[in-house]
Amino acid sequence: MSTTIHSIDAILVDIPTIRPHKLSMTTMGVQTMVIVRIKDSNGLEGLGEATTIGGLSYGPESPESIKLTIDSYLAPLLLNQPSNNINTLKVRLNANIRANHLAKSAIETALLDLNGKQQGLSVSQLLGGAIHQHLPVLWVLASGDTAKDIDEAQSMIAAKRHCVFKLKIGSRPVMEDVKHVAAIKAALGDSVSIRVDVNQAWDEFTATKGMQALQSAGIDWVEQPTPTKDFASLVRLSQKFTIPILADESINDATDGFQLAAAGFSGSYALKIAKSAGPIGALKLASVAQASGIGLYGGTMLEGTIGTVASLHAWSTLEKLHVGTEMFGPLLMKDDIVVNPLNYSNFGVEIPTTPGLGVEIDEDKLAFYRRK
Residues 298 and 364: their CA atoms lie apart, in Å, by 31
Do 164 and 275 lie in one domain? The reply is yes
Do 215 and 190 lie in one domain? The reply is yes
How sure is the predictor about 20, in pLDDT bands with cuts at 50, 70 and 90?
A: confident
Cβ neighbourhood burial of 320 (10 Å; 0-12, 13-18, 19+):
exposed
Do 95 and 33 lie in one domain? The reply is yes
251-308 pLDDT, tens per residue? 999 999 999 999 999 999 999 999 999 999 999 999 999 999 999 999 999 999 999 9
| 7 phi/psi in degrees, rounded to 5 | -155, 155
Whole-number percent of the chain with pLDDT over 70: 100
CATH number at 78 reads 3.30.390.10
Whether 58 has a pLDDT exceeding 90, the answer reads no
How sure is the predictor about 1, in pLDDT bands with cuts at 50, 70 and 90?
A: low
State the DSSP H helix or E strand holding residue 36, giving kind and residue range, or none if neither. strand 27-40
227 in any annotated domain: yes
Q: Are 331 and 344 a contacting pair, CB within 8 Å?
A: yes
Do 138 and 252 lie in one domain? The reply is yes
Give how many domains the chain has, as a whole number. 2
What domain range includes position 145?
126-350
- List, by residue number, the catalytic residues: 168, 326
195-251 pLDDT, tens per residue? 999 999 999 999 999 999 999 999 999 999 999 999 999 999 999 999 999 999 999
Whether 356 has a pLDDT exceeding 90, the answer reads yes
State the DSSP H helix or E strand holding residue 272, giving kind and residue range, or none if neither. none
Do 150 and 265 lie in one domain? The reply is yes
Other residues' Cβ atoms within 10 Å of the Cβ of residue 128? 12
163 in any annotated domain: yes
CATH number at 141 reads 3.20.20.120
Do 43 and 103 lie in one domain? The reply is yes
Do 207 and 334 lie in one domain? The reply is yes
